[in-house]
Structures are given as structure tokens and as C-alpha cells.
Structure 1
Amino acid sequence: MGPSPTPPFPPLRVPPIGSAPSPPPPTRGRDVISRWGGSAPPPRPLPPPTSVPSSRRPAPIPVSHQVTPPGPPRPPNFPFRGHKAAAGPGGGRGGTAEQMLLLLWVSVSVTAASGGGPGGGSVQFLALGDWGVPDPPFVTPREVATAAAMGRAAAELGARLRARLGDNFYYEGVRDEWDPRFQDTFERVFTAPGLRSLPWFVLAGNHDHAGNVTAQIAYGQRSPRWHFPHPYYSLRLSLPGTNASARLLLLDTVLLCGGSDDFGAGGAPRDAAAAAAQLSWLRARLAAAGGDRFVLVAGHYPVWSAGEHGPSACLRRHLRPLLRSHRVSAYLCGHDHNLQFLWEGGVGYVVSGAGNFMEGSQRHGGAVPPGSLRFFYGAPSSPGGFVHVRLEPDAATVTFLEATGRLLHRVVLPPRLP
């Protein structure tokens, strides 16, 4: 069964966020703020994450980190650039990068609370990748506009969590867990009430690997809403009021396929043993998800994309067969700076990389299977966009929204099980 065609539906009530500067077409992803002819609003000061009182920490859903039984083998040494010692709870250097990685093959259990608010009786989340620039003020108008719209969408449509699809800090990631980019590009931008209470589940992209990914993992000890327990990990989502469940598997596609620049995806990994260990973990988790109503996999590189970067030959070779054989509902990614939906082999492919740049190029339109591209949006004048996913026992609804609040496209995916 394929995705249902977009049915008639009432317009979403996400309020418009107002006009945003219209940038010129980007130049191969380097749409630096100085080229916009404008500047982002000055960020509002926030208390540092370490000073957030427990009463204000996010608690709309209980989240617990658990080692998947039986006791897993020691994780491989991952080839992160810029290894630095992780900070301990008291701010001192509390261990080596290798020890930090022994946080190990984490399975995170998430149970959504039902209630009368938006999305009661379902699990909803927002998904977006690719934002932030290394020039003051370290944000772009698109990121500010998209953050505001995501806050309104979370309040209007409901959202229990947020998936970051990589390239969290252009262009060379962060230096360490104390890097001010965490504040300038994340904490002080995603401040809408609808977002402050959400846990953010993070994965790494190629620009993150150009810096210190271990530091991004360590930052979870400082921020109550930044969850990045391991380079790849699993979330189990319980649909409230039912016995149904879903699973979200977050991958590190740079460890799988190599490439630390914009156009390097699809080559060989720097550490073949680490890549093989991640694939082995993924096969085991997919096999264990046989009873889940929906299974979603997320990574940074696309399996299929008609955009400027295009599909990853490495993921088509190693990941695509697993997605098809295990009847995965959808694969979510960023990397290409636009919004896309493709359908191939019973799997939905969602590209959501419009948090910072917008590229209208369909350079690789001929590289995707004929008829697979169902939706593409990358207007250079757009203020950005993102994806909202709603999981219910009988359907998964994927909605593409522009930062203006305009609904761009909606698709309904069937459950894996009757």
C-alpha cells in the first residue's frame, strides 16, 4: 500500500510569522548572513543551561536512557575529529572522549502523555536539519523565522519531541562543549514557548564532523533539552491510549559513508569497522522492531534526493535494502537545503533541510527513480520550512510547512501492521 494522496483538509491555524527578508539565491550552500542585505533580530538573553531550575526543565513526556539488554559489546572507537575530554557534571574534565562514548548503544523509551491538548491520543514531532552560520550573530533570518514558526506549529498541531537532522552548526561544528555557538545558534533562537519544553534528539551531519562531535554529545550534560546520548541510538514511541508503538532510529551517516564536506557523501567511511558496527546495530534494532506499528529512520545524508547534493550511493548500497526488507515507514534526512517527499519501494523519503538555506536546484532530478518525486519546494525567496509528523495507530501524517505558516504538502503513510 502506498501513501494516500493529499486529501482536502482545512487550512492549518498556524499564525503567520510576518515577513522575513528575501535573500538572493544561495551559492552552493554558503548563504552567509552578510549576503542577505539584512540581519537577524538580536537574540534574547537566556540563563545558561546549567542554571535552569528543575521546575522549568522539560517534562511533557518521561524520557529515560537505558542500555539495551542483553549487555552490548564495547562500542568501537569512533573516528571523531577534534577529540576532547568530556566535561564532568561539575564542569571539570570528567573523562576521555573514549569514556564518553561508553554511554553505549542507548535505547531511549518515550511515552507520550495523552490529554485534551493538541495531538492528544497521538505522538507528534518536528523534524529539521541544516542551520546556523559561523559569522555574527551566528543565525540567519531564515533560522529565526523557522524557529518562530516551529513554536507556533508545536502549540497548534502538537509536538512531543524534536528531531535535529544534522549540520547543527555551520560550517565547522563546535570546538568543545563550552562553545558559545550552543547559545548563539540554539538556546537563544529556539525560545518560543512551544519549543522550550521539548526534548531535542540530535544527530550529526558532515559539518558537525568537521568540528568536535564528542563535544555535542557532552553538551547533553549541560542542557536539559539537548539529547545526543551516542552517535546512533533508538527511540521507542508509545502511542497513548493503545498498545501500539513506533520506533525512531537515529543514525550517523557520516560514520557510515565518510565525507566531511558538502559534496563528499557516498564514498568510503574512514573507519570500516565502525561503519560495520553501526550497520550491525541497525540490523538488530530493525529486527527487534517487528511489532512496531511504524518504524522511522533518520540520518543526515539522503538516500534519495533530487536536489543539489543528490542521493548517496553509499546509502543506496547499504541502507536502502534494509529499509525495504524491514518495511520501514519513512527515512528522514537533511543535507539538501529544501523540502522533498519521495516514494520508492514502499518507503517514504522525507528531506527537511530548509532551516538555514533554500536551494531550488533539481540538479539530480534524473538520479531518482522515475515517478518517485512527489513533492519538492526550494524557492530561494522562501523564509524556510520544516516537517511535522503525527503518528496515530492507523496512519502517519507527514506535513510540510513553510515558515510563514503556509501548508505546502501533506502525505498520509499506512501502518506497517494491520
Structure 2
Amino acid sequence: MAGLNVKPIFLLSTIIFGLWVLHASAELQRFEHPSKTDGSLSFLVVGDWGRRGAYNQSEVAFQMGKVGEKLDIDFVISTGDNFYDNGLTDQHDTAFEESFTNIYTAKSLQKQWYSILGNHDYRGDALAQLSPVLRQIDNRWLCLRSFIVDSELVEILFVDTSPFVEEYFSDPGEHRYDWRDILPRESYVNKLLKDVELVLKESTAKWKIVVGHHAIRSVGHHGDTLELMKLLLPILQENNVDFYMNGHDHCLEHIRDTQSPIQFLTSGAGSKAWKGDFKMGNKGGLIFFYDGQGFMSVQLTQTDANIEFYDVSGKVLHRLITSKQLHSSM
């Protein structure tokens, strides 16, 4: 049992699945998640899933369990929109167990889940998903706005992207967003960008991954997120980020940045998908696109990354293999 030292300081009484919280860099909480004894790391990535098992969520979860066992995964990443349609009503909303605990039941998925908020999560009680109360209900759950997972081999920086999107503030329509602790928006975003830049500049990890809910580049329903292209992408390009992973568009896709080595990887197909919704005019760098349900796996070593996209039946649809030594991908 050990205490947690972060900046600002929070004290938690337990360590979740061997998880240790270290001193936070750039005001963001940093969680240490050790690699395997051979130095490798593997995890699954899924987004846009929480529908009480509907829209093939349960089928995707079943295949995640099989792949998770095969790869002996270390944890799972959720790219947001964790609970539809409007997040959670409060800390005791039964949707948490009905869409998470009771769905991802495979033994291999009983690992730490690192989650961020999506725009649909902000339409409910956003603070409920961040609450330690949910971790008491299911100790796999860890959801924060922005934070760092550090295994030495890789640093994964989770970025709260919803506040970047101007439309949610200027033209929310019928939706009501929970912007507690966000306003004033400009100050929040500017501070977050500074934190992101500092974390990436200080990182000595072999691999650098940034996770956000919204796509920077996408040919799916929502397309590119212009605010992220303008504000976040230049920081990622300047700091040698390897992968940007996101959800939001209900599809699987792989787009190569045309100005840097960054690979844009969308895994937002955890339940409902948009069949045939493809933006024809936005195909620069597109390598793979699939608008059915599915998820993604990531395997990392000191020299290689092996990333695979799976459909609802567990079939591998696309594979990305990249080497740090060769600086090439296919």
C-alpha cells in the first residue's frame, strides 16, 4: 500500500490493479503502469460504446475478451462517449453497470480501463464519471479529463478535447453540456495546450501516444476537427508523437499525416456505427476506413509497434506495423 503524490495533491487510499500515481508533470496526474517483464506492452482501444449492450456492443465486448486473452493485454483505453445518449445522470446511475460492468465481463478485460470524456458524456453529469464512487462500484474504472499513463516504454497522454470544439458552446442546440470546471473556456484550453506541450517535450519514452475523443483527421461522419488541427496538431508534430488515437466517429480508420510521422487512428466503433457515411472530399493520407463495429489492439516493444483493427466477428481488417529503427510503416 502506498500513498499518491500528485500536483495538485490528492490522497487516495488504494492502488488500483497495481497502479501507482506519481508526481504530476505540467499539472497533469501521471499514472505509472509497468510494462511486462520482457519490456513489451499490449492494450485494446475502444470508443463510443455505452448502450447497455445494444447495437452489437455485447458482441464487440465478446471479441475484445478473446483478443485480450490472446495478447495478454495490460489495460484497455476508452476514447470517450462512454454512456449514451447523454452521459450519466449522477454517480449512482445504473447505466454505469448496465453499459460497462455487465458488458465487459471477460477475464482478460478485468484490467485497468483508462477513459476520457466524450461530447455525449459532457451532456450528462460529467463529474459523475470522474468520481471515485464509480471506482468503488467497479475498480477497473479510471476516468479523468486529461492525464498521463507512463510505462517508460510509452507515454500515453490523454487530452480532454470536447472543450476545444466551438460549436458546443456557440450553437449547442437542444443539448445542455456540463461545463463545470471548464469555464472560462479559452483559459482552460490554453492551459491544457501548455501542459500538453510541456509533457511531450519532457518525455523520454520510446513511444509517444496522444489520446483524445475527437479526431484530428477523419473521413467519417464528423470529419476533421478544425480546432484540433489548428491548436493541437502543431504541438504533436513538433514533439515527435507517434500515434494520435481517438473515437467520436463511429468507425475504424487509419490516416497518415502528410507533414509528419504521426499516424491518426480512429477506434470509435464500440457499438452503433454509421454505414456508408464517408466524406469523399477529405481523403489525403487515408490508408484504411471501415464503418462497422469493432475495436483496435496495440502491441509495443522497444523497436516495433503492431496495431490491428478488428470487426464485430473478431476478423482482422487492417494491420499497421511500424519500426522505430526503420522509421517505416505499412
TM norm. shorter chain > 0.5: yes
- Alignment correspondent of 1:249: 157
- Alignment correspondent of 1:415: 324
3-state secondary structure, aligned to 2:230: helix
One-letter code of the match for 1:64? W
Deviation at 1:385, TM superposition (A): 0.7
Q: TM-score, normalised by structure 2?
A: 0.85
Which of 126, 143, 165 is the aligned partner of 1:213?
126
Give structure 1 stretches of 5+ with no counterpart: 1-53, 73-103, 115-119, 239-244
- Alignment correspondent of 2:193: 279
3-state secondary structure, aligned to 2:56: helix
Which of 91, 101, 123 is the aligned partner of 1:187?
101
One-letter code of the match for 1:203? I
Deviation at 1:403, TM superposition (A): 2.2
Alignment of 1:14-413 (within 5 A): 59=17, 62-68=18-24, 105-114=28-37, 121-133=39-51, 138-196=52-110, 198-218=111-131, 219-228=134-143, 230-238=144-152, 245-260=153-168, 271-289=185-203, 291-344=204-257, 345-369=260-284, 372-379=285-292, 384-413=293-322
User: Which string of whole-angstrom CA distances, capped at 9 and with x for unpartnered residues, describes residues 349-398 of structure 1?
Assistant: 001111111223353232242xx10001114xxxx210000111111111
Give structure 2 stretches of 5+ with no counterpart: 1-13, 173-182
Deviation at 1:223, TM superposition (A): 2.5
Deviation at 1:222, TM superposition (A): 3.9
Deviation at 1:231, TM superposition (A): 0.9
Distance 1:416 1:283 in 2: 25
Distance 2:314 2:46 in 1: 15
Distance 1:148 1:352 in 2: 16
Deviation at 1:158, TM superposition (A): 2.1
Distance 1:178 1:362 in 2: 35
One-letter code of the match for 2:48? D
One-letter code of the match for 1:107? R
Distance 2:121 2:148 in 1: 20
User: Which string of whole-angstrom CA distances, capped at 9 and with x for unpartnered residues, describes residues 113-151 of structure 1?
Assistant: 32xxxxx54100100100123xxxx32151000001001
Distance 2:249 2:210 in 1: 17
Deviation at 1:178, TM superposition (A): 1.0
Matched-pair contact (CA < 8 Å) for 1:329–1:416: no
Matched-pair contact (CA < 8 Å) for 1:125–1:160: yes
Deviation at 1:256, TM superposition (A): 2.6
Q: Relative to structure 1, is the Cα distance of residues 271 and 353 closer, same or farther in structure 2, using a 3 angstrom cutoff? A: same
User: Which string of whole-angstrom CA distances, capped at 9 and with x for unpartnered residues, describes residues 264-317 of structure 1?
Assistant: 7xxxx861111111111101101111x211000000110000011101000000
Distance 1:247 1:365 in 2: 34
Distance 1:121 1:300 in 2: 28
3-state secondary structure, aligned to 1:304: coil
Higher strand share: 2
3-state secondary structure, aligned to 1:111: coil
Matched-pair contact (CA < 8 Å) for 1:150–1:403: no
3-state secondary structure, aligned to 1:365: coil
Distance 1:164 1:270 in 2: 27
Q: Relative to structure 1, is the Cα distance of residues 184 and 255 closer, same or farther in structure 2, using a 3 angstrom cutoff? A: same
One-letter code of the match for 1:412? I
Q: State the 4+ residue runs in structure 1 displaced beyond 6 angstroms.
A: none
Distance 1:306 1:185 in 2: 28
Deviation at 1:213, TM superposition (A): 1.4
- Alignment correspondent of 2:7: none
Deviation at 1:257, TM superposition (A): 2.6
3-state secondary structure, aligned to 1:393: coil
Distance 1:338 1:191 in 2: 23
- Alignment correspondent of 2:177: none
Distance 1:220 1:255 in 2: 25
Distance 2:325 2:119 in 1: 31
One-letter code of the match for 2:32? S
Distance 1:215 1:209 in 2: 10
- CA RMSD between the two structures: 2.3
Distance 1:165 1:258 in 2: 20
Distance 2:320 2:53 in 1: 31
Deviation at 1:411, TM superposition (A): 0.6
